[in-house]
Structures are given as C-alpha cells and as structure tokens.
Structure 1
Amino acid sequence: MAPSFRRSRLDLACEPSAVGRARSHVGDTLTRWRLPEDVVFDAATVVTELTSNAVRHAGSCADPFGPGQVRPSTVRRCALALWLTDTRLHLGVWDQSRARPVLRPVSFDAEGGRGLQVVAGLSQGQWGAALTRPEGKVVWAALPLPAGYRPRIARDSPLSRASSRR
C-alpha cells in the first residue's frame, strides 16, 4: 500500500444531520488539500451515499413514545475517514451495524437503491466493506486521482515548514 500523505477523521452521531456534516467536511478538507474540483465533487457524492446508508441502516433508534424522538442513549455513532495517497483518495464510513451492504441491480423505474451503483461507478469498482471489532463495519471506496496529479503539501502544513528549513 502506498504511504498516506494526508488523513482526516470526523466522528458523528449517526442521524440525518450527519450526511450534511460529512459532505461539508469532505468539501472543506479536500479543497484545503488542493485536490482537483472533479475529485472533490466525486468524493462528496460518494460520502453522501455512504453516510446516508449508515444513517438509514445503522442510525438512531426511534423512541416508541413519540414520533421522531430520539433518546440520547439510543443515538448510534458513525465516523468518516479520508486518506490520500499518491494515486488515490480513500474514503471510509464506519457505523455500528454489522450488516454488509449489497450491490443490487436496480430497475429503471425504482425510486431509490442506486447509491451503491453510484459509489461503484465513481470508484471504478474499488469499494467494499469490512467488519470491525468489537462492533460495526467500515464501507470504503477509493477514487483514482487524475493521471499525472501529485498531491501538493499546503504552505501552512508542518511538512512544508520542515522542508523549507533544509
């Protein structure tokens, strides 16, 4: 595996607001990392799909005493991880469910169920899921960086300050 140049992690409550927070984090982080706009857009799309699935399938348990009410003890956790290597941007969403996602064919007139198809397409088939200990799973995707693109170290990075002292 190629060495990681940059990493970022965001811990979230696995509830509907997590989707927007994860998407914003991806946009802000990848822009700061100076990735091309099309990679930022594709990454935001993938993270939106993966986080939406985490919320939908592993998210908060509704309180039976009121519609839409969630007790703090029932809020589940999820997390977003980003890591950049010299050839790919890796994205992972962890949640507390052990149910693995299944890529299914979708009929033309279906109203949903296309999220993993989108992830598979944008990642050129480089995606998957792995169970984690003591609980949960991570669903990941790896987006290729454009040919000839090399990650640049931001000027405000500790790495750039260290290299400028040589």
Structure 2
Amino acid sequence: MAEASMRHEFQVASRVESVPRSRHETAKVLCDWGLAGDVVDTACLIVTELVANVVRHAAVLSPTAGVCLTADADALTLTVSDTHPFKPRALPTAHDHGGRGLRIVSALVAEVRGSHDVVPDGASGGKRIVVRLPLAPLPV
C-alpha cells in the first residue's frame, strides 16, 4: 500500500439489499488498495454489520447510510453514518432475535487492538460509527 492517505466514500439506501452491496464495494476498494486479505475480511464483516444495523434500526429516520473508507500507512478507518439520532450500544447479552451486531464489531476490533466509537454528527442530527483498525503488524 502506498504511504499516501487513500479515501473512498459511498452511500447506500437503508434497505436489506444494500448490505451485500456495501460489503462488495468495501472488498473491491480495499483489494484495489492492496490491503492484506485478513484486513479486508475483517473490514468487510464490520461494514456489513454496521450497515445492517442502519437498515434494521435507523431506516425509519435515515433513508441512506454513508460509508467512508480511509487508509494510511498506520490504519484503516471505517465510518458508517446515518441520520437517526439514537446512539446504539452493544446489548449486555445476545437476544434471541438479534443484538449481536455491535458485539461482533467490538470483538473484531479488540482482536486486532483497534478502536471504535459512536460520534454524534451535529450537521445531520445523526451519528457516525468510527472504527480504526491498525495496519502495522501486531507485536509478538
């Protein structure tokens, strides 16, 4: 991957069929950038879970979800945004019919010693879920 920062943004409708589209676009862009396969796989799973959460929980007030991918020499940053004001949180226990998305994202991020946060977006009244995955090799 080049040392310069790279950025790609796209929007998808807050509909079920947008979930695989977001995963495929994320995979294509990250592969084109030359990122390692395990990073691409992790990033695709995270974007899939976050876009699915927008579809499931925010679509009523957010007709679209924004996805922004940025990479530099140190990290890959994944941002999924919507215009719904509710700030999501991982449920303490998995519910029978859902509630696992943010728990999955948290586990994936912890596994690679990354970080994630929910950031209010004052301009839209919604929020951005920002996930940062380190690209440098983990210490042994």
Note whether the superposition's TM-score is higher than 0.5. yes
C-alpha contact (below 8 Å) 1:90/1:140 kept by paired residues: yes
Query: Could you list the runs of 4 or more consecutive aligned residues of structure 1 that deviate by over 4 angstroms after TM superposition?
Result: none
Task: Find the residue that maps to 2:102 and give its secondary structure.
Answer: helix
RMSD: 2.1
| Mapping for residues 139-158 of structure 1, pairs under 5 Å | 139-147=129-137
In structure 2, how many angstroms separate the alpha carbons of the residues matched to 1:37 and 1:94?
Answer: 25
The Cα of 1:111 is off from its aligned counterpart by 4.2
- Is 1:96 aligned to 2:83, yes or no? yes
Partner of 1:117: 103
Q: Deviations over 1:77-105 (max 9, x none)?
A: 21100000221110011111010111222
Q: Is the 8 A contact 2:83 2:124 kept in 1?
A: no
Q: Percent identity?
A: 31
The structure with the greater share of residues assigned to strand is: 2
The equivalent residue for 1:39 is 39
Give the TM-score, by structure 1 length: 0.72
**CA shift for structure 1 position 135:** 2.2
Task: Find the partner of 2:63 among 73, 76, 83.
Answer: 76
Counterpart code for 1:11 = Q
Contact 2:27 2:40 in 1 (8 A): yes
- Conserved? CA contact 2:75–2:135, under 8 Å: yes
Bigger CA radius of gyration: 1
Which residue does 2:50 correspond to in 1? 50
Match in the other structure for 1:151: none
| 1:9 Cα deviation from its structure 2 partner | 0.3
Whether the aligned pair in 2 keeps the contact of 1:123 and 1:144 (CA below 8 Å) is: no
Aligned length: 132
